[in-house]
Amino acid sequence: MNSKHTGSEWRDILSSGLDSDSTEWLEERLHKILSEKSGRDLFLTYSLIAGRVKDVQPESYGEGELAGYLASHDATLRQIARMYLLVRVLEEDRETFSPRVAKLIQVADKSELETFLRYLSLLPEAGDFKDSAVEALRTNIATVFDAISLDNPYPATYFNDQQWNQMYLKAAFMQRDLSRIQSVGQRANADLTRIISDYAHERWAASRDVDPMFWRPVTNYITGVLVEDMKRLLDSDSEAENKAGALCCFYSENEEASKLLENYTELRDAVADEKITWQNLNK
């Protein structure tokens, strides 16, 4: 999802569900913010929207890429109004408002922050706010962490490997739904593979389970101890772990991994026939 959608596109979606009084109030607040270049009024308006716009989905999002994206995320009118406000001030004066929008991470309450993070990729020049997104990874509030890490294209687009790996490991540690992290295959890297194996060994040593989905990034990096890890998964009493091991080995270009999977023909054939996929791993 790109960040090239204009304020007018946001306004069209918003206007279909917002009453005239609320629309007039929002436009007046926006005019004041822009004319006075006021960060204080920006923060205040972003917060006051909660009292003026209902937290319900619009009856129709309309058509187009932006509308489709918001519909797929069940965006509410309140969320859309908040994002419209941010898009508009950044369109009008990026130099003035970009550092102020970035500061939302410090002043927003939980629900306000969740909106900012969930739709961060839709802001103009969204990469300007990477520091805010990375800072959000420090939270222990699950819904805030989910807003940046799950069903969100922003991390895959803007995080470096260290930041991505930090997010992925913390998602596992917090027992979030790893299947909802986007672009896992594309962002896989050797360092993450080592971290995954080390973390799994710590869990196993403590007689604790590892989410089978956790192994998804290791496919192209199965060497050394990872081969033994795959054997453990394939021999596990857990069907989901069997599937994870089979998927990793089947799609690996490592000859040792491929040879290992030959000993598990039923699993190998099920992956080949796409009866086992990462999408149905836990089903």
* pLDDT tens digits along 74-88: 999 999 999 999 999
Question: Tell me: the pLDDT tens digits for 102-152?
Answer: 999 899 999 999 999 999 999 999 999 999 999 999 999 999 999 999 999
Both 39 and 88 in a single domain?
yes
User: Which of 140, 159, 178 is the last residue in one of the domains?
Assistant: 159
Q: Are residues 137 and 202 in the same domain?
A: no
> Are 46 and 154 part of one and the same domain?
yes
Is 241 a domain residue? yes
**What residue numbers bound the domain in which 243 lies?**
188-280
| Number of structural domains the chain divides into | 2
- Which of 118, 138, 159 lies at the terminal end of a domain, its last residue? 159
Q: Can you tell me the distance from the alpha carbon of 14 to that of 37, in angstroms, rounded to the nearest whole number?
A: 24
Specify if 24 maps to a domain: yes
Whether residue 58 is found in the same domain as residue 136: yes
**Same domain for 138 and 193?**
no
- Considering the domain architecture, whether residues 23 and 128 belong to the same structural domain is answered as yes
**Sequence-separated contacts (24+) of 97-103 with Cβ below 8 Å:** 97/37, 97/39, 97/42, 98/125, 98/128, 98/129, 100/39, 100/42, 100/43, 101/42, 101/129, 102/128, 102/129, 102/131, 102/132, 103/39, 103/43
201 and 79 fall within a common domain: no
Residue 19 and residue 138 share a domain? yes
Q: What is the pLDDT of residues 218-241, one digit of tens each?
A: 999 999 999 999 999 999 999 999
- Does 117 fall in a domain? yes
Residues contacting residue 49 through CB under 8 Å, at least 6 positions apart: 26, 78, 81, 82, 85
Q: Is the pLDDT of residue 22 over 60?
A: yes
Are residues 147 and 203 located together in one domain of the fold? no
| Final residue before a domain boundary, out of 159, 174, 202 | 159
**95 and 19 housed in the same domain:** yes
- Do 212 and 131 fall within a single domain? no
In a domain, 170, yes or no: no
User: How far apart (Å, rounded) are the C-alpha atoms in residues 192 and 181?
Assistant: 15
| pLDDT grade for 65, boundaries at 50, 70 and 90 | very high
Mean pLDDT taken over the chain: 94
Q: pTM to 2 decimals?
A: 0.92
182 domain residue, yes or no = no
- Is 173 domain-assigned? no
Per-residue pLDDT, averaged over 242-247, amounts to 97
- 222: in domain: yes
Is the predicted pLDDT of residue 1 greater than 70, yes or no? no
Q: Using one digit for the tens of pLDDT, what is the confidence trace for 138-195?
A: 999 999 999 999 999 999 999 999 999 999 999 999 999 999 999 999 999 999 999 9
Q: Looking at the structure, do residues 134 and 41 belong to the same domain, yes or no?
A: yes
- 231 within domain boundaries: yes
